[in-house]
Amino acid sequence: MPIFYGALCFLLTSPVALLSVPRPRLSLLSTRSSLPPSFRTHRKSPGRSFPLSMTSADPEVTIEFLKELAEAGGALIRENIFKRGKSTKGKISAADLVTETDVAVEKLLISKIKEKFPAHKFLCEESATSDDKLTDEPTWIIDPIDGTANFVHTFPFASVSIGFSRGKEVKLGAVYNPVLNEMFTATKGGGAFLNGEKITVSGCTKLSESLVSTGFCCSLMRKLSSDSTTEAERKEVEARKEEILKYISVIMQEVHDIRRVGSAALDLCQVAMGRTDMYFEFGPHEWDVAAGSIILEEAGGFLCDLDGAPFDIAARRTLAAASKDLAMELVNKLAAGKCLRPFR
């Protein structure tokens, strides 16, 4: 009973509370003069030029080009997000949504990239297959709309996420929320920026003082009510459900509060700029975390697997924190609560 009560309390915690947590840096939607100057500088237009240090991570690809791509995709999101009655279809369930805008943004970005770099590879959410793997080749890792359910429901946390990888290492990343006009960018060794202004993590070192975000796959849970779900699949989903309830119950006892924003890319960026202190999740794909991971690391954050092992973009287990001490405290709590097993 305590586990289910804890889960209920968590689910009733509105993600909109991210906008009103009593820390000055958390006020997102207002641009009134009462905002701290350090936050108001982040509201500058993403159209400003970037420091030269941000263009040297790759000999061919520049952060300016990623920014152009993100703005082009973001324009389509901004044009359609507040329209009602969007056409949707489910991928693995009725809750795992894809819209016409997802497809349109992905096609637009691929087309623009192929014009400049016809030999480059792609790993994109809407066109990916189970055989797609990240290789040493120059590769664009794209989520056209990270936060599709948010987009469908007009909740203003949907982003274009674009990462560029060479040698299986992400070299550049851009995450753009066109509704809030926030462009997060980073290059390897060049720092992380929000609308051209350098950002850093909060530096929080204790779970007891942290604001934590997480996520879980509602579409996977919906398979429990589907007639097409096999018995083997049902057992796997039931096990995953119990895991989710267990780790939420464990973490709720340790932190200031929990948020579920619904966009892994934006979750990573919130940690990168200090709005939250940590993000962890079982299940995100490469396109969910590629761009956000380099932004987090370049902002001074710590990234690893949920068992403390080095971060693997393909492992589908992500822990991003404002400090290594904070990350390791969560790792130890999850291990003690026996919350971990391989994600499939």
What residues does 161 pair with on adjacent strands?
Answer: 143, 175
CB-based contacts of 235-242 (< 8 A; 24+ apart in sequence): 236/344, 240/282
With beta carbons less than 8 A apart as the criterion, state whether 247 and 334 touch.
yes
SS3 state of residue 50: coil
Rounded CA-CA distance 170/172 in Å is 6
Q: Is 267 annotated as a binding residue?
A: no
325 catalytically annotated:
no
132 in a known ligand binding site: no
User: Does 143 qualify as catalytic in the annotation?
Assistant: yes
Q: Is 143 annotated as a binding residue?
A: yes
Known catalytic residue at 307: no
Q: Is 145 annotated as a binding residue?
A: yes
SS3 label, residue 161 = strand
Retrieve residue 323's tokens.
């400090």
Q: Of 102, 126, 143, 298, which residue is the catalytic one?
A: 143
Neighbours of 281 (CB within 10 A): 23
Query: Is there a catalytic annotation at residue 100?
Result: no
Catalytic residue among 148, 185, 276, 318: 148
Two tokens at 222?
A: 């919906």
**Active-site choice (125, 286, 297, 298):** 125
How many Cα neighbours within 13 Å face the side chain of 104?
Answer: 13
Map tokens 């202004």 to a residue.
197
Long-range contacts at 335-339 (CB < 8 A, ≥ 24 apart) = 335/307, 337/246, 337/247, 337/250, 338/246, 339/243, 339/246, 339/247, 339/250
288 annotated ligand binder: yes
**Active-site residue numbers?**
125, 143, 145-146, 148, 288
Residues in binding site = 125, 143, 145-146, 288
Residues in binding site for Mg(2+) = 125, 143, 145-146, 288
